[in-house]
Amino acid sequence: MAASKKVIAFDLYGTLLSTRSINRTLAKIYNERNAKQLAASWRRYQLEYTWRINSMGQYKSFSQITRNALSHAVAEYRLTLSENDADTLMKSYDALPVFLDIPAALRLLENNKDSVEAYVFSNGTDEMVGNSIKTSPDLGPHAERFKSIITADSLKCFKPDRRTYEHLVEQAGKQGKESDVWVVSANPFDIVGSRAAGLKAAYIDRSGKGWIDRLDEERAPEVIALSVDKAINSILED
């Protein structure tokens, strides 16, 4: 009997694709001095809004939350945001570069396609995630490395809600074999959420700080790696 394939589900934004290039678009609109702060605040509110709306039992699409978070960040610095500028900034998600370690990671996936099924697993809508992958200058040409895109949009909730990880397991056909499913993410909340749902997790620690999340010390990741390719190697050895 053939060995069961491992499923590796990769978070997209901040794990495969770098959102730092958005700073350049922000700088064109608001100048260099404001761009870095705006980018950090935008990301902060984007995540915070998903957690808040989860807690309230309500839902807005990730695209709408991202746009609303942008408005919040701009208002925080007493700046203004036109509809045209908001459209331009939202479209910047369609041309994100990959992190420097991703080409090596993609080669590993290709070389191990007989033993690994790779997925993109994101909070984004199908349209937003699909566009981000397709139009990324670095990831788009290698989109076939992923069996499919799995998003939380149809569930009307966001990571780290347990339902999102159960959805991943179901879509990957791994019910009852959760130990075959790995989530690879640079977001600690995603790691803790996947571990709480019984999945395995690899944390991408590009800053080299180690695992410092203390929400639940029993939910530490099985793998901590400085890059995605190193995480894949560790998963293959597991």
SS (H, E, C) 44-85: HHHHHHHHHHHHHCCCCCHHHHHHHHHHHHHHHCCCCCCHHH
| 69 and 124 fall within a common domain | no
| 133 and 226 fall within a common domain | yes
Distance CA 98, CA 189 (A): 21
| 31 and 78 fall within a common domain | yes
Over range 39-68, report the average pLDDT. Answer: 97
Average pLDDT value for the chain:
95
Could you tell me what percent of the chain has a pLDDT over 90? 91
Domain count for the chain, please give it: 2
**CATH code at position 57:** 1.10.150.240
pLDDT of residue 95: 86
Over range 98-127, report the average pLDDT. Answer: 96
pLDDT of residue 1: 37
| 27 and 136 fall within a common domain | no
pLDDT at 76 > cutoff 80: yes
Yes or no: say if 98 and 138 are a contact pair by the CB < 8 Å rule. yes
pLDDT at 20 > cutoff 90: no
pLDDT of residue 137: 87
Q: Per the domain annotation, does 124 fall within a domain?
A: yes
Q: Per the domain annotation, does 202 fall within a domain?
A: yes
Q: Is the peptide bond before 103 cis (omega within 30 degrees of 0)?
A: no
| 79 and 160 fall within a common domain | no
Q: What pTM does this model have?
A: 0.95
pLDDT of residue 217: 84
| 179 and 204 fall within a common domain | yes
| 189 and 116 fall within a common domain | yes
The residue segments making up the domain with residue 231 are 6-17+96-237
- Return the bridge partners of 98, or none: 17
pLDDT of residue 234: 98
φ, ψ dihedrals at 118, nearest 5° = -105, 140
Distance CA 61, CA 18 (A): 21
| 102 and 78 fall within a common domain | no
Q: Per the domain annotation, does 88 fall within a domain?
A: yes
- Of 82 and 2, the one with more pLDDT: 82
pLDDT of residue 170: 97
pLDDT at 150 > cutoff 80: yes
| 147 and 36 fall within a common domain | no
The last residue of one of the domains, among 75, 93, 111, is: 93
Over range 158-183, report the average pLDDT. Answer: 96
| 66 and 106 fall within a common domain | no
Closest to 192 measured CA to CA, from 223, 224, 220, 150:
220
Distance CA 69, CA 211 (A): 27
Q: Per the domain annotation, does 200 fall within a domain?
A: yes
Over range 195-199, report the average pLDDT. Answer: 96
| 11 and 57 fall within a common domain | no
Q: Per the domain annotation, does 146 fall within a domain?
A: yes
Distance CA 212, CA 198 (A): 20
pLDDT at 3 > cutoff 90: no
pLDDT of residue 40: 93
Q: Per the domain annotation, does 116 fall within a domain?
A: yes
Q: Per the domain annotation, does 138 fall within a domain?
A: yes
Q: How many CB atoms lie within 10 A of CB 83?
A: 7
| 77 and 104 fall within a common domain | no
Q: Per the domain annotation, does 60 fall within a domain?
A: yes
